Amino acid sequence: MKFQTDRGIPTDMGRRRFVQGLTTGGMLASLGLLSPGLLRAAPNPDVAVLDGPSFDLTIDEVAVNFTGQPRMATAINGSVPAPVLRMREGDDITIRVTNRMSVTSSLHWHGLILPSNMDGVPGLSFAGIKPGGTYTYHFKAAQSGTYWYHSHSGFQEQTGMYGAIVIEPRNADPVRYDREYVVLFSDWSDERPEQIFAKLKKLSHYYNTRERTLGDFSAEVSRKGLGQAMQDRKMWNEMRMSDRDLSDVTGWTYTFLANGKTPNEGWEGMFRPGERVRLRLINGSAMTFFDVRIPGLKMEVVAADGQNIRPVRGIDEIRMGVAETYDVIVQPQAGAYTVFAQAIDRSGYARGTLTSQPGQKAAIPAFDPMPILTHADMGMGGTDMAGMDHSAMGHDMSQMGQPRVPVKTGPQVDMMAMAAQVRLDDPGVGLRNNGRRVLTYADIRNLTPTIDQRPPGREIELHLTGNMNRYMWSINSVKFADAKPIVLKFGERVRFTLINDTMMNHPIHQHGMWSELETGDPNYLPRKHTVIVQPGAKISYLLSADARGQWAYHCHLLYHMEGMMRRVVVA
């Protein structure tokens, strides 16, 4: 008999692991719930909401219990997630961070435009916060919107060091709403992250327990015929790859959280029928892509990565890459609605409930089918992608042919996408033709006109490379430790073209500057801090090098970052 476990993992084991709540010890209680004309609700009654412009944060270890087994987490002000920090656009912000742990730590303000020495990346921005030390971050809140913050030291982010940032606009907000909630998704493991990484290095598919079975092959034979099924299996076997390599780390070890609440507990947000409710969705996970929907409600997407966009209405589902944020408006009527965030590999889910009555719950949707990678996801083209618009970029991004930059083959690279295509309107593996309207990058236009209208003076082509079998990740087949920096001239306009030569989605994050995604309308380029590059695909964005200093540039999958990273120098 199949059960849903507390992690939301389908399993045939006839037992359940009962999840207890977060043990918080020294949690703060200053919630600051009300603002004129708007109900500001804490995402979790155990998580503080702190109002700026001045903040005091303390990093320390605390005991938690998400799975029935006590563990130690890295917490900020005693809570996981960390307190929500609320600021106001234009204010001078001061954040004093004290490290009470025995190891060096740091905090990075993800997506915030600020001076390089305030960015919080040890070895690039500053030396880190030593044990017992305090570092004062000081910067002007140069923007408004939904962002987040996390450690940039070792694997501390995986152990609980992440929280939400909300920056209120100084002028009138173009988005009308009556109530708002932060909904922060994350992934927790009872294993130490060093153990997870060591297992991946030894056996990259260690956590992938849903590989093909004889039954799957029989179904393929029935659908395709024996000859084609055998040919497909031969191809995958020769490449030593799996068409189910969707997530390196899965629900086998992860418990997926919404605002620090397990699937068994569930986060709850109240509303009055007919209100316009703003949900500030944040993917603060270490390794998990979430597919987010609210059955029974359409979403109006009003912001991407903190920046206002032209509203996209009638959306059923959003794929949220690691580190992305989306703001949506929903208008529920009386009753309860499940906020359902299933992992991309369908190995588990995080959930919350929007309800007009305390304690009222809605049904939890069934998992979608296990996604299967296709030839297109391998960068081989394929008829399954027919009918998609590959010319929306506004410049020549036709089939790649040979790469324009040298990409070495060998033990560090196990595949190359020889027919990578722009797939802006592709919802992605597992979401295609699912009967729901899924947000894609092709839908997104900035609310206000593009500020820098200059054409790019040059193009930088970067290949996202790796050897999945050996769990080695790199850019242009060179790992971070061996790579030269990317040097930009202050003030120049550059096009970055990213080509994903791997079979995994990669969320690429540029610190300190906006990545202006080329989605087809150069007059309204959406500004993003994190750009998702689909398997076997390519994408481009424009960047104005308007921030001097050294900046990190990397894949935001935590266990990829060691290799798939560069130092960007603007001088």
Q: Where is pLDDT greater, at 545 or 410? A: 545
Strand duo 179-189 + 38-40: pairing: parallel
Confidence band for 46, pLDDT divided at 50, 70 and 90 = confident
Judged against a pLDDT cut of 50, whether residue 387 lies above it is answered with no
What does pLDDT average to over the chain? 87
Judged against a pLDDT cut of 90, whether residue 41 lies above it is answered with no
Count the residues in the chain. Answer: 571
Crossing angle for the helix pair 226-239 and 214-224, nearest 10 degrees?
Answer: 130
Residue 413: predicted pLDDT = 87
Q: Where is pLDDT greater, at 424 or 43? A: 424
Dist. CA 386–CA 398, nearest whole Å: 14
Q: Where is pLDDT greater, at 362 or 376? A: 362
Confidence band for 212, pLDDT divided at 50, 70 and 90 = low
Q: What is the pLDDT of residues 275-299, one digit of tens each?
A: 999 999 999 999 999 999 999 999 9
Judged against a pLDDT cut of 60, whether residue 232 lies above it is answered with yes
* Amino acid residing at 333: Q
Confidence band for 419, pLDDT divided at 50, 70 and 90 = confident
Tell me the mean pLDDT in the region 554-570: 98
Residue 213: predicted pLDDT = 56
Residue 416: predicted pLDDT = 84
Q: Where is pLDDT greater, at 404 or 167? A: 167
Closest by CA to 57, choosing from 126, 108, 20, is 108
Closest by CA to 18, choosing from 359, 265, 364, 353, is 265
Judged against a pLDDT cut of 70, whether residue 436 lies above it is answered with yes
Tell me the mean pLDDT in the region 530-549: 97
User: Which residues, listed in sequence order, are joined to residue 268 by a DSSP beta bridge?
Assistant: 353
Confidence band for 469, pLDDT divided at 50, 70 and 90 = confident
Q: What is the DSSP letter of 370?
A: P
Q: What is the DSSP letter of 232?
A: H
Confidence band for 231, pLDDT divided at 50, 70 and 90 = low
Strand duo 10-11 + 3-4: pairing: antiparallel
Residue 122: predicted pLDDT = 97
* Least confident residue range of 42-46, 133-137, 472-476: 42-46
Residue 215: predicted pLDDT = 60
Residue 392: predicted pLDDT = 35
User: Which residues, listed in sequence order, are joined to residue 493 by a DSSP beta bridge?
Assistant: 544
Judged against a pLDDT cut of 80, whether residue 125 lies above it is answered with yes
Tell me the mean pLDDT in the region 83-90: 98
Judged against a pLDDT cut of 80, whether residue 214 lies above it is answered with no
Tell me the mean pLDDT in the region 35-57: 76
Say whether 251 sits in a helix, a strand or coil.
coil
Tell me the mean pLDDT in the region 112-137: 97
Residue 234: predicted pLDDT = 58
| Residue 221: CB atoms within 10 Å | 14
Judged against a pLDDT cut of 90, whether residue 269 lies above it is answered with yes
pTM: 0.87
Residue 38: predicted pLDDT = 55
* CA dihedral over 491, 145, 510, 291, signed as positive or negative: negative
Q: For residue 145, give the H/E element and its range.
A: strand 145-150
**SS3 per residue for 475-538:** ECCECHHHCCCEEECCCCEEEEEEEECCCCCEEEEECCCCEEECCCCHHHCCEECEEEECCCEE
Tell me the mean pLDDT in the region 555-567: 98
Confidence band for 500, pLDDT divided at 50, 70 and 90 = very high
CA distances from 162 to 114, 137, 151, 252 (A): 19, 17, 7, 22
Residue 179: predicted pLDDT = 97
Strand duo 254-258 + 179-189: pairing: antiparallel
Per the listing, tokens 């719950």 go with 361
For 130, the token pair is 């030593």
Tell me the mean pLDDT in the region 44-73: 94
Residue 411: predicted pLDDT = 79
Dist. CA 9–CA 404, nearest whole Å: 43
Percent of the chain with pLDDT over 70: 82
Say whether 392 sits in a helix, a strand or coil.
coil
The answer to whether 282 and 184 are in contact (CB under 8 A) is yes
* Least confident residue range of 238-242, 251-255, 256-260: 238-242
Contacts of 215 (CB under 8 A, 6+ apart): none
